Amino acid sequence: MTGSWLRNGDATTDAPLRLFCFPHAGGGGGFFRPWRALLPPQIEVCPVILPGREARIEETPYTRMADLLDPLCEGLAPYLDRPYALFGHSMGAAVAYEVARRFDGDPVRAPRRLLVSGRRAPHLAARRRAFAGLDDADFLQAVAQLGGIPEEVLRHRELVRMFLPGLRADFAVNETYRPSEGPPLTCPVAGFTGERDPEVTPLEMGLWNRTTKGPFRMTVYEGNHFYLKDLPVPLRAGLTGELEEDVRPAAA
């Protein structure tokens, strides 16, 4: 893949901590860019752009985590020259977790913290049917029921035609994903979820505690699978509270 994993201008400030953000299936960096103005300036929000969306819309999206991980980590490596944390929502939580595993043992480039949202712990088996192999109409209907596709988008066939390959590929990544083997992470992990999320229960979210030897905390917020849209004030405070522990020593 030849495209940039970050948008031009991202990862360019003097902020003491970078926060790499990985989107849900079909999501893009635009989902997280408003966070840059909402989180403290000490935290530089860096949305990760996967192939098949936004400026990389012409690129072929990956359909397997194993194929995605090597080029992704290679693309992020130049930006790990300062303290950083990883945030992922839904499918993005699995991607962030695998990136954390890849760099966790590196004495220089290990993440300070992993933040996961809206996804069951990686060792738990799926409990819903697979979507990726459905025909277009059934696939879009199934995904729309999760609340991730606005009705106005579904009414525009040309727009649907553009984002459908990336969306379907992401669901294939999600549905074929199996966590890589190895010891638990050493960095702290924090879990976030909406109390009415049909994709994950608070109990399933809490089982992320098995992924780390470090501290684990979980917070449940009002809302569904997309409780985090527009970064509501309670979540904003929760993220800031988690990351301030990493910002203070980095700034010092």
The tokens describing 226, both together, are 């997309």
Ramachandran region, residue 169 (left: φ > 0; alpha: ψ -120 to 50; beta: rest): alpha
Residue 201 CA to residue 180 CA, distance in Å, equals: 23
- Please give the C-alpha separations between residue 244 and each of 42, 61, 143, 210, in angstroms, as whole numbers: 9, 35, 35, 24
Just list the catalytic residues. 90
Q: Among candidates 38, 55, 44, which has minimal Cα distance to 21? A: 44
Residue 148 CA to residue 128 CA, distance in Å, equals: 17
From the CA atom positions of the chain, what is the Rg in Å? 17
- Please give the C-alpha separations between residue 223 and each of 25, 191, 199, in angstroms, as whole numbers: 19, 15, 12
